[in-house]
Amino acid sequence: MLFTLFIVVQCISLVHGSFCILPRSPEQMRVAMRGPNAVTISWRTGGNFGKNDTPEPRVEYSTSKTFTDKVTVNGATDNYDKSSFFHNVALLDLLPSTTYYYRILAAPTCVRESGIHSFTTAPLAGNPSAVSITLVGDLGNDNLLNLGGSSRTMKGLRQVADKTDFFVHIGDISYADDYGLGVPFEFYEQSWNSWQKHMTEVTANQFYMTGPGNHEVTCAILGDFLCLNSNYKNFSAYLHRFRMPGDESGGYKNLWYSFDYGLVHYVIINTETDFPDAPSGPGTLLNGGNFKGLTGQLDWLKADLEAANGNRAQVPWIIVSGHRPFFGSLPKLPALPGNCDSCRTAFDPLLQQYNVDFYVSGHVHWYERLYPIDANGNPIAYNYDNQPGPIHIINGAGGAPEGKASVKTPISASAKIVSAFGFARLELKDASNARLSFVDSKTMQEVDSVDIIRHH
Ligand SMILES: *[C@@H]1O[C@H](CO)[C@@H](O)[C@H](O)[C@H]1NC(C)=O
């Protein structure tokens, strides 16, 4: 029986013109913005007995579904162990606000061609059309503590994909480092792979922009010393699995970067490492970074925000996302997620100086919306009618295998807490009007929504 199957598989492979035992498909396809007019297509293959099975990664793309006028581009491959090969292809000089179709081409060593996917490029910076962003944080695989919560959020993300211009995942992706809490019988690489496979329908067709969280630092959340494979330390998996526009924006790879999308300038910061007293920096329990010294990230952020603030007539909204919240109702308890004081000291003065509109974080496993606050976290108003300073949103409710957070007494600046799994949506309707909402992924109902006015 097995032998017959083997022969059948061999014959099928031979029909495709190459001899191989198990033909494979490109996996975990994803698209991300890559500076103005450019997009990165990325995917994974499992290799051929430890060797790269796609030495010449190639993508074919076209504005037509039938691939008339197609363009073929080559890319590059990297890896951090022998079980996975990560391929990235840059599509450059694309037209703004245009739908492109793409497919990954077959490799002679037994890798099939992919199906056809599509994405729509960003409008030019300053284009006045409304922008709709879906924000998720702290979304892992299902386990016994979140009871299917993450699958429900993934399903919810698929349902809103059509009305989303781009997604932002604010750190804590897959929770592959949660040994014992993760998917039973799966380990670090397998957990990452299964998470990315589950997300492919979203990530292959929509820009999926990511930032680093504490679960991206090393392969064991209880401490780097428990991560027995040195290939999996120091953000290694994260750095290879998501290609973000750090180079294009003067930032650093996928750890801190920015991009423009029509009315919005979006900035991703790294609240784990690369600033003074960073919670996951060198010598800490998770022991990551620094990649650019103690001030590289902060110098870049200052320059980036200064330029963005100077460009507000064209691009009015500035949003910053980092994994850890600066203010919020969950007090900092040892070993539990809470506010990050050293992050606040490092980043918040810059966010205030350049009048950033929103700081959207994750880390605490709920959704919390704060009223406008001053630099000490005290409320300055109980409405969002053109108040100054960043509006703080905590959105770590995606579906953490560690469960949900709750608190008895919220702080006075807390406007709303939702202890349910789900995701937030931010719609920038025009230069002055925004709408923020949170969707409970169990019911797919909006359980919070608020209109925000900012005259820039
Ligand atoms: C992490 O990698 C960076 C870049 O290679 C390196 O400079 C840094 O020392 C590493 N950090 C640790 C804790 O090994």
Residues 241 and 374 in one domain: yes
Asked if residue 113 and residue 148 are part of one domain, the reply reads no
Separation between Cα atoms, residue 428 and residue 418, nearest integer Å: 22
We report the CATH number of the domain holding residue 270 as: 3.60.21.10
pLDDT for the residue numbered 416: 98
Report the number of distinct structural domains present in the chain.
2
Placement of tokens 């007494």 in the chain: 409
Helical (H) or strand (E) element with 267: strand 264-268
The reply to whether 125 falls in a domain is no
Considering the domain architecture, whether residues 70 and 218 belong to the same structural domain is answered as no
Distance 236 CA to ligand 1 centre (A): 10
Do 319 and 203 belong to one domain? Answer: yes
Give the pLDDT of residue 22: 78
The residues near 44 (Cβ < 8 Å, ≥ 6 apart) are: 26, 27, 28, 84, 85, 86, 87, 193, 196, 241
Which residue intervals of 165-291 are DSSP H helices? Answer: 188-198, 200-203, 236-241, 246-249
Give the Å distance between the CA of 341 and the centre of ligand 1: 23
Rounded-to-integer distance, Cα 78 and Cα 100, Å? 26
What DSSP character marks residue 95?
Answer: P
User: Contact at 8 Å (CB) between 251 and 305?
Assistant: no
Residues 252 and 149 both lie in one domain: yes
pLDDT the model gives residue 143: 82
Intra-chain end-to-end CA distance of the chain, in Å: 70
In this prediction the pTM is: 0.95
Whole-number Å distance, alpha carbon 343 to ligand 1 midpoint, is 20
Ordered DSSP codes for 300-350: HHHHHHHHHHHTTTTS-EEEEE-SS-SS-SS---TTS----HHHHHHHHHH
Q: Is residue 312 part of a domain?
A: yes
Q: What is the DSSP string of 115-159?
A: --EEEEPPPPTT--S-EEEEEE-SEE---TTTTTHHHHHHHHHHH
Closest alpha carbon to 30 in 18, 39, 43, 19:
43
Distance (angstroms) between ligand 1 centre and the Cα of 361 equals 25
Taking residues 244-252, report their average pLDDT: 98
Q: 3-state DSSP call for residue 194?
A: helix
* Domain closes at, from 89, 120, 151: 120
Centre of ligand 1 from the C-alpha of residue 316, in Å: 36
- Please identify, among 51, 85, 120, the residue that sits at the C-terminal boundary of a domain: 120
**Tokens of residue 289, six digits:** 């970074």
Whether 138 and 94 share a structural domain:
no
Using most ligand atoms within 8 A of CB, pick from 290, 294, 297 the residue to mutate for ligand 1: 290
Q: How far is the CA of 155 from the centre of ligand 1 (A)?
A: 36
Residue span of the structural domain in which 85 resides? 2-120
* 280 in the same domain as 174: yes
Q: Are residues 392 and 350 in the same domain?
A: yes
Ligand 1 center to 397 CA (angstroms): 30
- Indicate if ligand 1 lies below 6 Å from the C-beta of 347: no
Q: Are residues 172 and 41 in the same domain?
A: no
Q: How many other C-beta atoms can be found within 10 angstroms of the C-beta atom of residue 163?
A: 10
**C-beta of 287 in contact with ligand 1 (< 6 A):** yes
Parallel, antiparallel or unpaired: strands 317-321 and 433-440 = unpaired
Q: Based on the domain organization, do 187 and 297 belong to the same domain?
A: yes
User: Does the beta carbon of 280 sit less than 6 angstroms from any atom of ligand 1?
Assistant: no
Q: Atom 11, ligand 1: which residue's CA is nearest?
A: 289
- Same domain for 91 and 6: yes
Length of the chain in residues, anyone? Answer: 456
Q: Both 64 and 166 in a single domain? A: no
The answer to whether 29 and 117 have CB atoms below 8 angstroms apart is: yes
Let me know if residue 126 belongs to a domain. Answer: no
108 CA from centroid of ligand 1 (Å) = 36
Across 74-83, 98-107, 247-256, 402-411, least confident range: 402-411
Whole-number Cα distances in Å, 407 to 221, 257, 323, 338, 345 = 24, 33, 20, 11, 24
Give the residue, out of 225, 240, 291, 294, with the most ligand 1 atoms within 8 A of its beta carbon, to mutate for a pocket test. Answer: 291
What pLDDT shows up at residue 181?
61
Q: Whose CA is nearest to atom 5 of ligand 1?
A: 291
Q: Whose CA is nearest to atom 8 of ligand 1?
A: 289
Chain segment 77-126, per-residue pLDDT in tens: 999 999 999 999 999 999 999 999 999 999 987 899 999 999 999 999 98
Q: Which of 90, 120, 150 is the last residue of a domain?
A: 120
Q: Please give the residue that has the higher pLDDT: either 331 or 296.
A: 296
Q: Which residue has the tokens 């990530």?
A: 203
Write the CATH number for 76. 2.60.40.380
Per-residue model confidence as pLDDT tens digits over 256-299: 999 999 999 999 999 999 999 999 999 999 999 999 999 999 99
Distance CA(119)–CA(167), nearest Å, equals 13
| Per-residue pLDDT reduced to its tens digit, 176-229 | 998 766 545 458 999 999 999 999 999 999 999 999 999 999 999 999 999 989
Asked whether 291 lines ligand 1 (CB < 6 A), one says yes
Q: Is residue 19 part of a domain?
A: yes
* pLDDT value for 335: 64
